[in-house]
A = this chain, B = another copy of it.
Amino acid sequence: MVFKITDAPIDVGRVIEQVEDRNAGAINTFIGTVREMTKGKRTLYLKYDAYVPMAEKKLAQIGDEIIQKFPDAKVSIVHRIGELAISDVAVVIAVSTPHRGDSFDGCRYAIERIKEIVPIWKKEHWEDGTKWIGDQRETTAYPSGKPRKEDLI
């Protein structure tokens, strides 16, 4: 199991290998890629930045949370930072479990948690400007400057 922030292209096959297990019948993989069009706006490229040591800790914490839910799961998560072009892979999550439903649920949980607690930021570069994108989950983000209690596990 590997939890890593990298500035190099991600080898999807390697991430999958890291969760292989004789008693896994299912591996679910989520690959987040750079999409060209969002709400009618054309992205030229993206820049990801991270608070690297804390981000790696939080990715590992997400792995632990998944194993609490699904004790036989194996999890690996690699997130890339730096400048990414359209279709480049930003994140790869792999979750193996004995039965298929848990692999889907564990992987889905991981991507939602990444968007809640992992200190990684995306800066969109459009033809007409740039913007740091916050809060993709479109929840109201820390209005008092305090994290919600459940994010502090």
A residues sitting closer than 8 Å to B (CB atoms) are: 12-13, 16, 20-38, 86-87, 96, 98, 100, 103-104, 107-108, 111
Contact of B26 with A30 in the complex, beta carbons under 8 Å: yes
Q: Name the distance in Å between A9's Cβ and chain B's nearest Cβ.
A: 13
Q: Are B16 and A26 in contact (CB under 8 A)?
A: no
Among A20, A28, A38, residue most surrounded by chain B Cβ atoms (within 10 Å): A28
**What 8 A-B pairs are tightest by C-beta distance, nearest first?**
A25-B35, A29-B29, A27-B31, A22-B36, A104-B108, A22-B86, A23-B37, A13-B13
Q: In the complex, what distance in Å separates the CA atom of A148 from the CA atom of B83?
A: 51
Q: Which residues of B contact A107 (CB under 8 A)?
A: 28, 104
Could you tell me the distance in whole angstroms from the C-beta of A32 to the nearest C-beta in chain B?
A: 6
**Contacting residue for A31 out of B29, B33, B98, CB 8 A:** B29
- Of all chain B residues, the one with the shortest Cβ separation from A21 is B87
A103 touches which of B16, B30, B37, B103 (Cβ 8 Å) = B30
Give A98 Cβ to nearest chain B Cβ, in Å. 6
> What are 6 inter-chain pairs, A to B, with CB distance below 8 A?
A13-B13, A25-B34, A26-B32, A30-B100, A104-B104, A104-B107
In the bound complex, CA of A120 to CA of B44 (Å): 44
A16 near B24: Cβ-Cβ < 8 Å: no
Nearest residue in B to A35 (C-beta to C-beta)? B25
Contacts of A16 in B (CB 8 A): 12, 31
Contact flag A20-B87 (CB < 8 Å), given A32-B100, A33-B27, A100-B30? yes
